[in-house]
Every structure is written in C-alpha cells, then in structure tokens.
Chain A
Amino acid sequence: MDAGTCTSAVPLLEVDDLRVVFPTPRGMVKAVWGVSFQIQKGHMYGIVGESGCGKTATGRAILRLIPPPGKIVGGRILFRGENLMEKSEEEMRRVRGRSISMIFQDPAAALNPLFTIGQQITAIMKRHKVAHGEALRQRAEQLFEELGLPHSRDLLECYPHQLSGGMQQRVMIAMALCVESDLLIADEPTSCLDVTIQSQILDLLVRLQKQRGLAIMLITHDLGVVAETCERVAVFYLGRIVEQGAVSEVFRHPRHPYTQGLLAALPDPQRWGSPLKMIPGSVPTPLEAIPGCAFAPRCEFATDTCGNVEPQLVSVGDDHLAACFLYAADPGKGRGRA
C-alpha cells in the first residue's frame, strides 16, 4: 500500500468478511460470519449485541487471539493497509500491545494477581522497548497521573487485589496506552463496574480519544453507552452485523426489526409504570442451523423469503446499512417502525 499518497483514504482498521468458528462436539459454531466494518483513525466505533453474538470474538480475532480450538476461517483484517491475517505469529506479537491494545470486561480477572502493578506495566514497556531503567517507572507514574490515579508512586508497589474495580480498570487502560497504540479494543470495559465508576471510565475513554487521537472499538451491550460516546455503530446478531452506520442515523431511524426491538426495550421515562417492551422469543443457540435471516424466527415482519434466503446489508439511508428484506427492493423505505 502506498502510504504516502492515500494515508487519509485508508481506514485505520478494515475488517472484511471475517469468519470465526468454534468446533464443538455437537457441531460447528459460527461465532462470527461474514462481518465487515471499518474504523477511522481517532474514531470511537461501537459494537453492540447480546451475549454470545460474536462481538467479543470479533475483538479477539483482530488480535488473532481466538482461543483454540476456535479459529478464523476467512476474511481479511487490514490494519493501516496491512493484512494481519498474513503476519507470522512473531510479527503479530509486535502488533499486539504495540499498535493495537485491548482492555477487558473484568479488570480484576485481567490483572495477574501475583505481580505488582509496577511489574506488570513495566513488562509491557520492556517488551516493546519503549523505555529502560528508571524511565520505565517515570513513564508509568506520568501515565497514572494522566489517568487520574492517585499516589502513583505507591501504586506501582500494589498488588491488583489492593485496588478498587475502577482503579483496576484505569490501570488496565494505562497498560494499554503505555506504548502509545493507535487502536484500543475495549471489550465491555464498564460492565463489571459500579454505575458511578462506569461513567468516569467512559469519560476517560472519550477524553483519551479526543486528546490522543486514539481510535477505540467499544464492545458493549449498552445502547446508551454507544449513543453517548460513539460516532459509528454496528449491531450484531448471532455472529452477523444486522445494521450499521452513523450513530445518529441508526439510533434515530433504526431500520432492522432487531435494532428497533432493542431500542424499544430501553426504559422510557415517558412510559413510566407501563411494562418494558421486549423482543419475543430468545436467541437461538448458534448450533441450530438457521437458513435465511437469523432473526426471522423472532421477527414480526418475517415472510417466507426471510426463512430461506440470507439477507445482505443494503443501504437504507445516508451512511446507514441494514440486512433486512424489508428494504431490499426499495432502499430507504420500510414498513414503518415497531
């Protein structure tokens, strides 16, 4: 790729037709099936969906960290125009933590309990050769201060269990940023935290995105979080993207019945006292082979076509795609909202 002429045109990350499977004794689970999206430099990209919809697998696949026996069976992952799928394991190790970092849902589980915070963060900096000797500590302390962690000198000597959940997640973010990576994959970074701490961590992520020009791939099941922080969003259902586009567009005019259902299920102060709406049925196990649209069994608009043919993403508005036959023939016009 000629970086000199078209830097701005090449997205930071381009995932193209990604397919991840997990073989199980009862059959092949298609965790991610034909997912494509792009993340621009310095943008916050939201990935939403229920548990098991493939959003975490997508995040891990980008770093090629799918736990065996699961594996990536197709697609391309272009980072700054380079295909990560073609890199050797050793080259991948230089990408991980250096160009692309990751933070996890439960910071208490993501920090090794037997090593001090200082040992853990300096190991990463040493590994990627960004600092040596005393500079390691200084850099860590600076970063802690920037992330709003108090008493940074003592903090380096602390073990993870001595910190609160919010501090642990800040430490994880510090570990992700200590080598100045360009993309942060944040896998449900606030799900395990208290509500008050959740907003602090989100504010912190937004601030880092703005100040450092950091691109963030925010994986979450919380639509509210995406609405508040992201520019673009992809809605996952059973390993597929059913709707994607600009947040303002997708949330104001949801086109896919699943997205419509999700948004309708949010508590609404104006309907105080009335029961919450819900999507009928439940997510089928990924083992069940569903011909056609995966959402069809739960969809109130489903037709015969939906049960037989898999819908493709089609343009349903300005910077807005949805995979639904309601729009296939006549993009931009649907049969109304739920």
Chain B
Amino acid sequence: MSRGEYLLRRLGFGLFVLLGVLLVTFVVSRVVPGDPARLYLGPRASPEALAQVRERLGLDDPLPKQFVKYVASTLQGDLGYSFRTKRPIIEDLKVRLPATMELVILSTGLALLVGVPVGVLGASRRGKGFDQVSRILTIAGVSIPAFWWALLLQLVFFLWLGLLPLGGRVSQDIQLHHPIQMITGFYLIDAAVTGNWIAWRDAALHILLPACVLATYPLSLAVRMTRASMVEVLSEVYVTAARAQGLSEREILFRLALKNAIVPTLTIMGLVFAYSITGAVLVEIVFTWPGMGSYMTDAILNKDIYVLFAVTLVVTVIYIFVNLLVDLVQAALDPRIRIGRGGEA
C-alpha cells in the first residue's frame, strides 16, 4: 500500500465516523423530550405560532427527509441558531473555538515538549533520584483536580506574587489601546503577525497559567507513557547492538530508541487532545476564558440543545482530524504500518 492509498483509506474511515456522529446527534435531537418550536418561541406561544415555526423549521417532515436536510445544511456550515444568543451557532464558534484551540494546542505542545524528554531521561536513569521525583510528580499530575490546581496557581502567581493576571485572554486596557486584529482568532498568532508585541506579551501572560493547568494531565501522561515504552525499548537487543557498535548514549536514547518508543505516546496524546477540548470546561471557567467550555456550560444550563449538537459535531471533526494526523505521523515513523511495501526482498 502506498502512502497515498493509506491516506485515502484513513480519510474514508474518518468520513464514515463523521456520518455516524451526524446520525447519532440527529436521532438524539429527535428523541429528547421537549418541543424545539416551544423552546424557540418560549412557554407562552400561541398554537398558531408554534405550527408556523414547525412548518418553517421542517419539523413536520418525515424523519429521513429531515436527516438529509440536516446533513446538507451542516455540510454547508449551517449549524443552526442558538436559542440563547439568537445568533447563528457558526458565528459564535468562530470566536469561541480559536480561544479553546489556542489553549489546547499550546498545552498539548507543552506536554509533548517537556513530557517526552523527561520520560526518556526517567527511563535511562531508572530507579535513580530523577526517576523517582518524576514518578511522584507525574502521579500527582494525573490525579490532581484541575480546578483546585488552577485556584492554587492563581493564589500563588496572582495574589501572592502578583506576576500573572487572574483570568481572561487579554487585559482591558490592551483591548482598548492595542486591540488585536482578528485574523485566525489565535491571539498569539494574530498579535505576532500584525507586530502588536505589547498585546502579544499581554496575551502570553494571560495564557500561561490556564495552559499550564491544562497541560498538567497530558504532560504527566506523556512522561509516564514515554518512560514505560522507553524502558521496554531499552531492553531490546537492537539497543544493546547499538551500544556494541559504539554509538553514543545520547544518540541511542534520543535518535534510535525514542523513534521506537514515541508511537504509543503519540496515540495517547491524540486521544487526550480531543479530551482536552471538552475537559477545558473547568479550566476555562476558573480563568474566565471565553472558549468552548463556557459556551457549552451556558448551553447546557439553558437547554440550548442545538449548540450542544453543534459542539459535539465540531469536537468530533477535530477528534477525527487529530487522530488522522497521529496515524499519518505513525505511518511515517514506522515502515511496518505501511504494510506490503516490497515485502520479502
């Protein structure tokens, strides 16, 4: 199988999953108790008005027809209206999604960049001081409640040390005097592209604490996964062989063994990435971060069900995309995943 074929196959599989999720959200939306028309118009709407809205929203059509319409409009980017904000959901998401993605990408990146080397060193110094300390810290890292950890960091860095802001994406005076021009919705990118360094610094200070809190779990997981698979790889004969060939310990650890050991870590990180998007809820609330988490919470509290379906769908798409990416990276790393190339020579 060539690399292109592999890509197509994975892509086709992703589309299949997406269709399944569309079907599930559709079915759930028709099964949940409550009349969408009544939700839309409020409790005191007249029967005529309700009938009119049902007609307009196509709620009286046969279900298969409704499903086709639903899929078609979704694919065109129409995710429906929010009852609460009275705006197209897609417009809300354009602001909310980048805020969360900036946080999640940064924290996942941090987790990989710090977690993998720490895991490698832990495995190579197995049982020594460094390994023991990192084991204790990572156990704490995976078990600490995010909101408590967030509050603790706020206490230290905002209240006691006064080094970092309490919450939000940028300070108010920066918003007034050095507004960030919206391009991608990622403040750090937008500010950098437009050369707005004052706002960049401010945004960076704001994202630091929430990113650290959100990174704690994936970072600890990355350390533990990498350490575990490194320990296994380091006991392989090919590592002894590499030592017998006189290769340096650093080359063996970070070039040869890590390539073998990082595959399971990447799989886990792909899964955790999607989990972080929804898992960011508490972190976003504590840091008043205007992202998907607070949007979703408001939707739940207000029975804004179309927002919930839309969010489910968006998270699914991101999930499929990230895991596709992980699959492709793994296939690039491990020739045996791209089966059949050449075979026995």
A interface residues with partner B (beta carbon < 8 Å): 60, 63, 65, 67, 93-98, 101-102, 104, 106, 109-115, 123-124, 127-128, 151, 154-155, 158-159, 161-164, 167, 172, 175-176
Question: B335 — which chain A residues lie within 8 A by C-beta?
Answer: 113-114, 159, 161
Segment 206-245 of B: residues with Cβ below 8 Å from A: 235-238, 240-245
Given A63-B243, A124-B245, A164-B344, 6 further pairs, Cβ under 8 A: A101-B245, A113-B260, A113-B336, A154-B345, A163-B345, A175-B245
Question: A63 — which chain B residues lie within 8 A by C-beta?
Answer: 243-244
Nearest B-chain residue to A60, judged by Cβ: B240
> In angstroms, how far is the closest chain A Cβ from the Cβ of B155?
43
**Judging by beta carbons under 8 Å apart, are A65 and B245 in contact?**
no
**Judging by beta carbons under 8 Å apart, are B237 and A162 in contact?**
no
Segment 13-33 of B: residues with Cβ below 8 Å from A: none
Q: Could you tell me the distance between the alpha carbons of A236 and B1 in the complex, rounded to whole angstroms?
A: 50
Question: B238 — which chain A residues lie within 8 A by C-beta?
Answer: 109-113
Q: Could you tell me the distance between the alpha carbons of A98 and B245 in the complex, rounded to whole angstroms?
A: 7
**Judging by beta carbons under 8 Å apart, are A96 and B245 in contact?**
yes
> In angstroms, how far is the closest chain A Cβ from the Cβ of B277?
31
| Cβ 8 A contact of B345, one of A93, A111, A128, A167 | A167
Question: A164 — which chain B residues lie within 8 A by C-beta?
Answer: 344-345
**Judging by beta carbons under 8 Å apart, are A109 and B237 in contact?**
yes
Closest 5 A-B residue pairs measured CB to CB? A97-B246, A97-B245, A96-B246, A109-B237, A102-B244
> In angstroms, how far is the closest chain B Cβ from the Cβ of A228?
26
B343 within 8 A of A: yes
Question: A98 — which chain B residues lie within 8 A by C-beta?
Answer: 246
A-B contact pairs, 27 of them (CB 8 A): A65-B240, A93-B246, A97-B246, A101-B245, A102-B244, A104-B241, A110-B237, A110-B241, A111-B238, A111-B241, A112-B256, A113-B334, A113-B335, A114-B259, A114-B260, A114-B335, A123-B247, A123-B251, A124-B245, A124-B247, A127-B246, A127-B248, A154-B345, A162-B341, A162-B344, A163-B344, A164-B345
Nearest A-chain residue to B334, judged by Cβ: A114
Q: Could you tell me the distance between the alpha carbons of A60 and B345 in the complex, rounded to whole angstroms?
A: 32
**Judging by beta carbons under 8 Å apart, are B333 and A96 in contact?**
no
Question: B333 — which chain A residues lie within 8 A by C-beta?
Answer: 114
**Judging by beta carbons under 8 Å apart, are A94 and B236 in contact?**
no
B342 within 8 A of A: yes
Q: Could you tell me the distance between the alpha carbons of A163 and B343 in the complex, rounded to whole angstroms?
A: 8
Question: A114 — which chain B residues lie within 8 A by C-beta?
Answer: 259-260, 333-335
**Judging by beta carbons under 8 Å apart, are B247 and A97 in contact?**
yes
Question: A110 — which chain B residues lie within 8 A by C-beta?
Answer: 237-238, 240-241
Q: Could you tell me the distance between the alpha carbons of A115 and B245 in the complex, rounded to whole angstroms?
A: 15
Question: B248 — which chain A residues lie within 8 A by C-beta?
Answer: 93, 127
**Judging by beta carbons under 8 Å apart, are A158 and B245 in contact?**
no
> In angstroms, how far is the closest chain B Cβ from the Cβ of A112?
4
Nearest B-chain residue to A161, judged by Cβ: B336
**Judging by beta carbons under 8 Å apart, are A115 and B247 in contact?**
no
> In angstroms, how far is the closest chain A Cβ from the Cβ of B253?
13
Segment 307-329 of B: residues with Cβ below 8 Å from A: none
Q: Could you tell me the distance between the alpha carbons of A127 and B242 in the complex, rounded to whole angstroms?
A: 11
Nearest B-chain residue to A172, judged by Cβ: B241
Nearest A-chain residue to B257, judged by Cβ: A112
> In angstroms, how far is the closest chain B Cβ from the Cβ of A180?
13
Nearest B-chain residue to A159, judged by Cβ: B335
Question: A154 — which chain B residues lie within 8 A by C-beta?
Answer: 345
> In angstroms, how far is the closest chain A Cβ from the Cβ of B303?
51
Q: Could you tell me the distance between the alpha carbons of A92 and B206 in the complex, rounded to whole angstroms?
A: 51
Q: Could you tell me the distance between the alpha carbons of A95 and B246 in the complex, rounded to whole angstroms?
A: 7
> In angstroms, how far is the closest chain B Cβ from the Cβ of A272?
38
Once A159-B335, A161-B336 are accepted as A-B contacts, the answer to whether A127 and B245 lie under 8 Å apart by CB is: yes
**Judging by beta carbons under 8 Å apart, are A112 and B242 in contact?**
yes
Q: Could you tell me the distance between the alpha carbons of A114 and B238 in the complex, rounded to whole angstroms?
A: 11
Q: Could you tell me the distance between the alpha carbons of A97 and B334 in the complex, rounded to whole angstroms?
A: 26
Q: Could you tell me the distance between the alpha carbons of A109 and B241 in the complex, rounded to whole angstroms?
A: 9
Q: Could you tell me the distance between the alpha carbons of A112 and B260 in the complex, rounded to whole angstroms?
A: 9
**Judging by beta carbons under 8 Å apart, are B256 and A115 in contact?**
yes
Question: B343 — which chain A residues lie within 8 A by C-beta?
Answer: 162
**Judging by beta carbons under 8 Å apart, are B241 and A162 in contact?**
no
